[in-house]
Copies of this chain bind each other. A is one copy, B any other.
Amino acid sequence: MAGNRSTLLFDATQRLLRRGAFPHLKRIIAKTHPADLAHLLGRFDEDQQVQLFGLLTDLEARAQVLAELGDEDAGTILQRIPRAQAVEILREMDNDDVADLLGALPEAVSQELLAQMTGEDSFEVEGLLRYSEDTAGGIMTPEFVGLPETATVGQAIELVRHKRDVEMAFYVYVVNSLGQLVGVLSLRKLVVSDDGTLLKDVMEPGVVSVRTDTDQEEVARIVARYNLLAIPVVDDRNTLLGIVTVDDVIDVLKDEATEDILKMAGAGQELVDSASVGSSIRTRWPWLMVAFFAEILGVVVVAPFGAPLEAHYYMAFFIPIIIAMGGNVGTQSATIIVRSLATGHLIPREVREAYWRELRVALLLGVIYGALAGGAGWILSGWSPGFGITVAVSMVAAMIIAVTVGALLPLFFARIRIDPAVATGPFVTSAVDVLGLLSYFLIASVILSARS
């Protein structure tokens, strides 16, 4: 649904809700795709969400809406509708989605719901809840088509026909007598093979798989690299436990991109839908605090070297341009390095080469902008050549400092296994501010006092 239609739907729903035109609303909701409904609900407040969700009567649609909604919103709705209804919906949902949802609820509520689910489903969900949510285990579904290597193509087709609850059955996985993954077969291959053929004679051996503890970003990378529609998940003995489907991989890619972008600006890890000022400040203050103390430290460190300022107070006007140009170049370096690491364009051992390139870039840019800024300094200081030189040299120094911090900080973070994305933004600019400013005053003391 394009942006326009989605806005029209929102407007209509809001109007009808305000007027209390429930029969009309109910008809609209019944006709809307569950994915669009989830998107729509996300734009209303809690009470309205519960109200609108109540107007949806089709059980399958209810399950799909909850699966597509963010876990937080879905959890709220689930807690506010009657328990019996909640259990009914959970039974209808795919078990990997149920596990995600229950994992986000208060322990007591999720235990209660799980107890009422009973049967195979609750057993599977409990199994899934064991895995950390950012791993293959946490995003896999245990519902797949797996068959022994001695089964025939005909038997496999029969199984696909009858396994109704299997999510996107586009591959049939083949296991040996120990339940270990030995091969894979596309549904397509199955359709074009003779009924009597044994699976082991038509399967592709050497199937790519991941372990339950593989990080979800790595899972996404592998699925993307090999153009897969699903990837099998195995334990450390190669026993097949579940599959991760491509639609979940897409969600991972989207979330990770947002997370990286926000982290780089020191603005939390998740977009907060609500207009809550409190939660916005909570996600933002930690980096600001780090930046604040770094900058205060800068004031304390630089102040003793402030002597040149008394004679040359116009030095102050060039502080912003020197540290800003450094900050910009440093942020560029950090961003390029962080993104190269994240996409696999750069591996940690190519570090020296990457830093060397950044250093040459900084030198060249420093000379260009140093000359320009130095010229401006010379003019604006009333033709003081010493001040022009001070500004020019300080610009070169600030840029070299900036790329050094910008390139090496993320690489250092990667080495100590902290996500390099946090090393950009406020971190780089604060360091460049303090070091760039210090070098500006030191250079000024040397050049200006030598000449005066």
Contacts and interface: CB of A to CB of B under 8 A. Distances in A.
Contacts of A261: 257, 260-261, 264, 335, 339
Contact of A425 (B224, B288, B328): B328
A425 B331 contact: yes
A225 B429 contact: no
Interface in A368-413: 368-369, 372-373, 376, 380
Nearest to A329: B288
A119 B168 CA distance: 36
Nearest to A354: B275
Interface string A217-240: 010001111110100000000000
A345 B273 CA distance: 7
Chief secondary structure at chain A's binding surface: helix
A331 B262 CA distance: 10
B335 A267 contact: yes
B324 A316 contact: no
13 contacts: A1-B225, A35-B227, A39-B225, A229-B246, A253-B254, A264-B335, A271-B340, A284-B332, A284-B361, A292-B369, A295-B321, A306-B316, A324-B433
Given A1-B222, A287-B332, A429-B429, 10 more contacts: A191-B191, A260-B261, A261-B339, A262-B339, A265-B332, A285-B368, A292-B372, A302-B317, A319-B320, A320-B437
List 8 A-B pairs, minimum CB-CB distance, nearest first: A257-B257, A316-B316, A265-B335, A295-B321, A227-B247, A267-B332, A309-B313, A161-B192
